[in-house]
Amino acid sequence: MRAYVPSYQLLSPGSLAEALDILTQNESWKPFAGGTDLMVLLEAGKLPHKNYVNVWGLNELRGIEITKDKITLGALTTYSEVRANKILRDEFPMLCQAAKETGGVAIQNRGTLGGNIVNASPAADSPPALLAYDAELQLVSKRGNRTIPYFSFHSGYKQIDLRPDELLGAICLPRTTEPLTHYYRKVGARKAQAISKVCFAAVGRAINNHSERVRIALGSVAPIPLRCVRTESLINDRPLDAGTIAAAKQMLANEIVPIDDLRSTNAYRSRVAVNLLEDFLTQLENQR
Ligand SMILES: Cc1cc2nc3c(=O)[nH]c(=O)nc-3n(C[C@H](O)[C@H](O)[C@H](O)COP(=O)(O)OP(=O)(O)OC[C@H]3O[C@@H](n4cnc5c(N)ncnc54)[C@H](O)[C@@H]3O)c2cc1C
């Protein structure tokens, strides 16, 4: 166990333009936001690079903007800020639940949504909620900005659609007036301060005994935070009956690829994932 932080360089630019200049000039510079993932790795001697651009002070990456159609969260939005926002609590309760169950108070005050996304851990807690809410990401660089569906951001274990000269600028959540069932469960070894064994997020609604707008995403069951589109397509626009529920459970078991690791087993993760799906669909049925 190392008990010291190896030497590193940290530049603190005064503006987003200055930060993007540094990232464009030399690929060895990496963004540093709250540092709650990076400092752990750095202290453990697990980071190959030692040059950081401190983005924490950049106001351009802060704030929660609310318009009629969407909510835009600056990449530096902390879990505490998510939890404190009433509109997010009313309209995106799964994201607030994820924030509430992430780390402890210190991590919630310092850890950012942007850092959670770019760190790309398959066990992270906000990605399943963001996937189920169909979030979009705004990526910024000197070459211009681009907006992509979050669904397309993760392509493999720790492989993401972010170029070395880009920063994640913001996360956009589309608003809806439709009443939806929101179902979020983090399953860990403890109720707090635990890394997920399985994380399940789903939204949808049932009308005339048919399911609609169902979107399902899971964490800790694949190399990436996984949107389960094949399971969704078995559920959407179908009668919400025992046959559909059984077929959906079977499909989910095929769609996820959990592993055995020190936190859990493939068998446990699979069983829990399908049980949570059944619980979600039962709630959907009861709320119609
Ligand atoms: C004790 C402890 C408990 C934790 N508990 C949980 C938990 O329960 N659930 C969970 O999901 N996570 C947990 N974490 C992990 C961590 O706190 C989160 O992933 C957090 O959101 C990371 O945000 P950050 O701002 O600190 O990221 P940083 O550590 O600053 O950065 C993480 C990565 O993102 C990149 N990055 C950051 N911001 C940007 C940006 N705007 N654009 C481009 N790249 C960027 C960095 O270069 C780095 O690669 C825990 C960590 C600790 C130490």
Q: Give the tens place of pLDDT for each residue, 187-209.
A: 988 777 788 899 999 999 999 88
* 140 Cβ closer than 6 Å to some ligand 1 atom: no
Identify the pLDDT of residue 131. Answer: 98
Whose C-alpha lies nearest to ligand 1, atom 38?
115
Q: What percent of the chain has pLDDT over 90?
A: 85
Which residue's CA is the nearest one to ligand 1's atom 1?
A: 103
Determine the average pLDDT of the residues in 69-84.
Answer: 98
pLDDT at 45: 83
Q: State whether the beta carbon of 58 lies less than 6 angstroms from ligand 1.
A: no
Ligand 1 centre to CA of 236 (Å) is 34
168 CB under 6 A from ligand 1? yes
Span 202-232, pLDDT tens digits: 999 999 889 999 999 999 999 999 999 999 9
CB of 30 shorter than 6 A to ligand 1: yes
Q: Quick check: 47 pLDDT over 90? A: no
Most ligand 1 atoms within 8 A of CB, residue of 36, 190, 195 to mutate = 36
Determine the average pLDDT of the residues in 87-108: 97
CA angle 244, 126, 286 (to 5 degrees): 30
Under the banding of pLDDT at 50, 70 and 90, the label for residue 127 is: very high
Question: pLDDT: is 24 or 263 the higher one?
Answer: 24
- Determine if ligand 1 sits within 6 Å of the CB of residue 188: no
Residue nearest to atom 2 of ligand 1 (CA): 103
Q: What is the pLDDT of residue 253?
A: 97
- pLDDT at position 27, please? 87
Is pLDDT at 3 greater than 70 in this prediction?
no
**Which of 116, 130, 140 best tests ligand 1's pocket when mutated (most atoms within 8 Å of CB)?**
116
pLDDT higher than threshold 80 for residue 246:
yes
Provide the whole-model pTM.
0.96
Atom 32 of ligand 1, residue of closest alpha carbon: 115
Higher-confidence residue: 151 or 50?
A: 151
Q: At residue 5, does pLDDT exceed 80?
A: no
**What's residue 55's pLDDT?**
98
The answer to whether the CB of 181 falls within 8 A of the CB of 205 is: yes
Instruction: Look at ligand 1, atom 27, and give the residue with the nearest C-alpha.
Output: 115
Residue 2's pLDDT is what? 58
* pLDDT confidence of residue 259: 86
Residue 288 has pLDDT above 70, yes or no: no
Determine whether the shortest distance from the Cβ of 60 to ligand 1 is under 6 A: no
Instruction: Compute, in angstroms, the gap from residue 90 CA to the centroid of ligand 1.
Output: 25
